[in-house]
Structure 1
Amino acid sequence: MPRTYIGIDQSYSGCAIVSYCPATGSAEEHTYDFSPAKAGSGPQRLGYVHNILREHFMHLRHEGTVRQVCFEGYAYGSKFRREELGELGGVMRLALVQTFPPHLLHAVAPTTVKKYVTGSGRADKDKMMLAVYMRWKHESSSHDAADAYVLARIAAGLETQQPLELKFQQEVIDSILNPKPPRTKRTA
């Protein structure tokens, strides 16, 4: 059974999940609408999101050989809807750890996702979509799906035994496999 790598990009209103198989070069894209109009609000919405994601992750687990999962981490500088995004991110993480072993799961900062495909952590959404197409000839249906595709490629790169062709991509993989310890605050 071919190895599969999963990339996930969640946002306030939805989620994109890409399953990438290097052996065939294929990528399967799924998008979900988690807007309040579709999913409700408060705890009802969180339950809805959890159930949808848990079902999808269980399907992926039973369908094939999931080797690594990368999901977009939080944009810590973001000011808008942080609480709701934190709740949705927590629900997604809960569904992931209920389905896959923790050593397969990797949170990847948004700037790191951008760097992996463009060489810079400051690319805008349109440049990301174009870069995904130019680098891998993968046409995504949305910005979230393009990010999820990059995350799936990063997940595949985590198992590559040989150095990657592009230096900035290898730097991204090395930073995920060998994270720097968190900074400690100095006390006076």
Structure 2
Amino acid sequence: MPRLSIGIDQSYTGCAVVHYNAADGTATETIYDFSPSKAGVGPQRLAHVHNTLHEHFHMIRLLGTVTQVCYEGYAYGSKFRREELGELGGMMKLALVQVYPPHLLHAVAPTTVKKFVTGSGRADKDKMILAVYKRWQHESSSHDAADAYTLARIAEALAAPELPELGFQQEVLDTIRNPKPARSKKKA
């Protein structure tokens, strides 16, 4: 069975999922429209997101051995729709743990995703699409798909430590493998 790694970029209105086949270097990307006009609102929307992703993750599992899964974590400075995005992220995580063991799952900060492909955590969306193409000759259909593809390549690098990586890529992998503990807030 082929060895597969998965990358997921979720936003308020959609989700890009890429599974990368290390054996032949191919990638399959799927873009879901989870906007309220397509997926509904409230609990109906959450159930739709969960069911769709659960089915998709299960389908990938049938295609080969999933070695690692990386999904983009939250942009903690963002103010817009954060509660709704948190609920959607919760549905994605629930679908993931129902299909894959927790030790395969890794949240990766948006700046870390950018750094892995560009060397800088500050690249804009258009630069990400170009950087993915330049580094891996992969044409992404959108910036979400470019991020998901990068996450799949991070997952593959985590699963195959023998792969030679650039210095900044190795820093990213070390950060994911050995996360710093969350800082506690000072009491007033």
TM-score by length of 2: 0.96
Amino acid in structure 2 at the alignment position of 1:121? G
Distance in 2, matches of 1:152 and 1:77, equals 24
Q: Is the 8 A contact 1:5 1:21 kept in 2?
A: yes
- 3-state secondary structure, aligned to 2:99: coil
Give unpaired runs (5+ residues) of structure 2.
Answer: none
Q: RMSD value over aligned CA atoms?
A: 1.2
Distance in 2, matches of 1:45 and 1:110, equals 24
Deviation track 1:36-93 (CA, whole Å, cap 9, x = no partner) reads 1100101110011111001001111122110000000000000111111111000100
Change (3 A) 1:81 1:64: same
Match of 1:55 in 2: 55
Match of 1:77 in 2: 77
- 3-state secondary structure, aligned to 1:49: helix
Distance in 2, matches of 1:164 and 1:186, equals 41
Amino acid in structure 2 at the alignment position of 1:23? A
Distance in 2, matches of 1:133 and 1:154, equals 15
Change (3 A) 1:163 1:64: closer
- 3-state secondary structure, aligned to 2:160: coil
Match of 1:133 in 2: 133
**TM-superposed deviation, 1:163:** 6.2
TM-score by length of 1: 0.96
Give unpaired runs (5+ residues) of structure 1.
Answer: none
**TM-superposed deviation, 1:185:** 3.5
Match of 1:42 in 2: 42
Deviation track 1:6-27 (CA, whole Å, cap 9, x = no partner) reads 0000111110000001210100
Amino acid in structure 1 at the alignment position of 2:66? V
**TM-superposed deviation, 1:186:** 4.2
Q: Is the 8 A contact 1:163 1:170 kept in 2?
A: no
Q: Does 1:98 align with 2:98?
A: yes
Distance in 2, matches of 1:181 and 1:145, equals 30
Distance in 1, matches of 2:101 and 2:58, equals 12
Amino acid in structure 2 at the alignment position of 1:176? I
Amino acid in structure 1 at the alignment position of 2:112? T
Q: Is the 8 A contact 1:9 1:147 kept in 2?
A: yes
Deviation track 1:119-148 (CA, whole Å, cap 9, x = no partner) reads 111111001001000111100001100000
Aligned residues: percent identity?
Answer: 73
Amino acid in structure 2 at the alignment position of 1:175? T
- 3-state secondary structure, aligned to 2:30: strand
Q: Give the length in aligned residue pairs.
A: 188
